[in-house]
Amino acid sequence: MTAPAPLDAVTLSVLKGRLEQIADEMDATLYRSAFNPIIAEARDACHGLYHAETGATLVQGTTGLPIFVGAMAFAVKAVIDKVNADEGRGAAALQPGDTFLFNDPYDGGTHLNDFRLVRPVYRDGRIFCWIASVGHWLDIGGNVPGGFNARAEESYQEGVRFPPVKLVSNGVLNEDILAILAANSRTAQSNYGDLNGQLNALALGEQRLAALLDDYGDEVVTAAFETLTARSEALMRANIAALPDGRYSFDDYLDNDGITDTPLLIALDLTIEGDRMTLDFSRSAPPCAGPLNIALSTSVACCYVALKHVFTDVPANAGCLAPITFIIPDTTLLAVKAPKPVGGYTETILRVIGTVFGALAQAWPERATAAPFGTINALSIAGARDHGGRYVMFSFFGGGLGGNPEGDGLNHGNNPISMATMPPAEIFEASYPVLFRQWALRPDSAGAGEHRGGLGAIYEIEVLNGGVSAAFLLGERGRFAPFGVNGGKSAALNRFVFEKDGAEATPPLASKITDVALRQGESVRLETPGGGGWGDPSARKREAIERDIRLGYVTSEQAAKDYGLPQLDLTASRKVA
């Protein structure tokens, strides 16, 4: 067979767009059919195409969660290894349509709520590539509804764990696996709806890819995969080579592990040598007792997300990681194995991403971005409905992004791990017995600077059901504020408040607590951090400060402290943002 001719620029561009469209359509299919608002509204999911032999990422959509992009290659490789091992034991050969399900966080996963489905795509009797889907299911058992158990000391307390198992074999759905899934969840119907949404997304992806291959031929599409991967590597090498050679170190901390009130160091030594980069996390804290650990594949995915944020022109495929060397020893909390708990992975990955930002800020200060708010504040409220049945409301919450060279940080944005959005208050209130008393920007929460950070938010949620409900929170940034860069100041700390004996209380471990009892009419309140500031606050223009005061973003008292101005009374001209 002769090799295909090099692709012309127009054909390559068309194929790139159609391939990305396949992943985007898979995303949209799941968003529109999922039962649980965290997928349907918040878009906590991802789809892509992966290499037939290595599992490396070939194509990723534009709407899926970036953190899943890096991890999914490990997930697909885990399935490939499973298939190879089964065939070595004489198991039945893989068939078109066979689909594997798993949520193992130590083998290409993230945490137990994130369920992955992986399926081969066959052409002429051979595997052409793999397609995969991942989505956050609402509840998968464990001690705490929603899975974010701040006091878990082993993964068994976080939920049920599935290694790669064949959910669909020769076109037949394994009902025994469905029964096990249903028996281990408080929200079995929701999970079943999400599972079917993922299966439908895979079916659509397989159909769309077959049509593309019929139009252009397998060899031409394979050539497009190879060309796009090579271009991604070349662009990443060029970006690295443009930075000054050297060693750049940055340290940050997690508040605690939910068990012991001791800070956890996340430390990065970043080395640039020509067109290669080494990310060494060896100085980071050892594995911890609580759920702030992460697996190696998750750590690599964090670095992928951070680098993609900095080098935005590099396409999302395996090529961008080719010039990167990772040193992440299993003596750290960033490369743990079972059964170390990992349910709070969302907090640790944000700190890892932040250290990459912090180290690169030293190498490229003119493009440095201050820290975002850096916590998802995984809040679950669970209880019994008045008419019977149980409910589990889970969501992550927004905050401020960091100031940057071009302007102020975004108010009430999402963290850099995701393209997700918070479900609207109306969706929560329609789905669960809760009422949002407040959903507003948080004044004085942004770090001051020539370009200030974005503002965090205030969310106050009241429970309406007659029985006792319970709230569970796993968050961060309650002790170590989002940092500023180039002279910018840190943002406000995270704060969680709940009602206890008629008075307000806060968790002893800052932003982590389990089983806060809530009676009808009682509420919890989150006050999320803003983003860090960029540049010396004394360089901020006076009209920008006055505008912030008028809009209620900054009080005149805080402006006087941060910017050295006399207190200004601008309340008479205050406008609504």
CA–CA dist 523, 502 (Å, integer)? 11
pLDDT in tens, 540-563: 999 999 999 999 999 999 999 999
Q: How far apart are the first and last CA of the chain?
A: 64
Token pair recorded at residue 69: 């992009």
pLDDT of residue 153: 97
Is the link from the previous residue into 339 a cis peptide, with omega within 30 of 0? yes
Look at residue 315 and tell me whether its pLDDT is greater than 90: no
393-to-41, 125, 147, 389, 396 alpha-carbon distances in Å: 13, 45, 11, 13, 11
pLDDT of residue 420: 64
pLDDT of residue 240: 97
Token pair recorded at residue 76: 């697909």
Mean pLDDT of all residues in 349-362: 95
- The model's pTM is 0.93
pLDDT of residue 3: 47
pLDDT in tens, 155-194: 999 999 999 999 999 889 999 999 999 999 999 999 999 9
Percent of the residues in the chain that have a pLDDT greater than 90, as a whole number: 84
Strands of the sheet with 246-254, listed across from one edge: 246-254, 264-273, 276-280, 324-327
Mean pLDDT of all residues in 413-429: 84
Mean pLDDT of all residues in 80-102: 90
Look at residue 106 and tell me whether its pLDDT is greater than 70: yes
pLDDT in tens, 487-511: 999 999 999 999 887 789 999 999 9
User: Nearest to residue 111, comparing CAs of 292, 333, 361, 303?
Assistant: 292
CA–CA dist 15, 25 (Å, integer)? 15
Looking at every residue in the chain, the average pLDDT score rounds to 93
Position of tokens 């059901």? Answer: 465
CA–CA dist 42, 31 (Å, integer)? 9
Confidence of residue 572 (pLDDT cuts 50, 70, 90): very low
Look at residue 404 and tell me whether its pLDDT is greater than 80: yes
Long-range contacts of 359-364 (CB under 8 A, 24+ apart): 359/248, 359/249, 359/250, 359/268, 359/269, 359/270, 360/243, 360/248, 360/270, 360/306, 360/310, 361/250, 361/485, 361/486, 362/248, 362/250, 363/243, 363/244, 363/246, 363/248, 363/270, 363/272, 364/243, 364/310
List the single range of 84-88, 339-343, 376-380, 452-456 with lowest mean pLDDT.
Answer: 84-88
Look at residue 4 and tell me whether its pLDDT is greater than 60: no
Mean pLDDT of all residues in 272-278: 98
Contact 445, 455 (CB under 8 A): yes
For the chain, which residues make up each domain, given as ranges?
Answer: 9-234, 369-540
CA–CA dist 349, 294 (Å, integer)? 8
Confidence of residue 571 (pLDDT cuts 50, 70, 90): low
